[in-house]
Amino acid sequence: MFSSLLNEKSQFWNVDVYNIYDNIFPDKIDNYNAFIITGSAFGVYENHSWIRELFKVIKKIVNLKIPLLGICFGHQAIAQALGGHVVKSSKGWGIGIKEITTKKSNSLLGNFNKLNLIFFHQDQVVKLPQNAELIAGNLFCNISSFSIGDSVLALQAHPEFNKDFSLKLLNARKSSVEPTTYLEAINELETLEHDGELITPNIINFLEQKS
């Protein structure tokens, strides 16, 4: 899905994929111009060796000021690794196409007042890392996006998801989702448009900073 989202540029990039849940990580961090940490079914607060290793790698990337993009689990992992805090939200699932309001007039995501994006999560960042700047949020998910300087961009939403995939994922998870949340999400995914492609050029610019 990220290949599809970034298709305009990804055909010109050399991309390596690491299955970090198998404890496979890059040998030399500084060989790369940018990193993306994607979504996951795991929680960043779970006690797995690969999650502990991921936190070390995140700190190295940030110290080297290599552009680091975190999406959903990646957003949460960056926050947790750098001193923020993530919990399984008592509000339950956040699923569907949700509007977020930007807190900063011009951010790494672009110059937008509001964005409609696809969300699919239970966990939330509830405390920002030191030096992080809040980009956007809403009443359900106060910290929906943040940045640190020009080299870290974190987003709880999924710009890479399309509506068809999201509906299939929702139906696969139906048994664990509250009925009212499920019906609301179905309605949003079937009737609303999302701005994933709208912010894609800004994500590409962010990733290409060091190229």
Structure tokens belonging to residue 42:
């795991």
CB 58 within 8 A of CB 26: no
Which entry of 75, 121, 160, 188 is annotated as an active-site residue? Answer: 160
- Measured distance CA(24)–CA(83) in Å, rounded: 24
Burial class (CB in 10 A: 0-12, 13-18, 19+), 190: exposed
List, edge to edge, every strand of the sheet that includes 133-137.
35-37, 68-71, 152-155, 145-148, 133-137, 94-102, 114-121
72 is catalytic: yes
- Measured distance CA(129)–CA(84) in Å, rounded: 4
CB 71 within 8 A of CB 155: yes
Which entry of 141, 158, 188, 194 is annotated as an active-site residue? Answer: 158
Residue in 211, 209, 204, 171 with CA at minimum distance from that of residue 190: 171
Residue in 190, 176, 209 with CA at minimum distance from that of residue 64: 209
Which entry of 72, 75, 188, 194 is annotated as an active-site residue? Answer: 72
Q: Which residues are designated catalytic?
A: 72, 158, 160
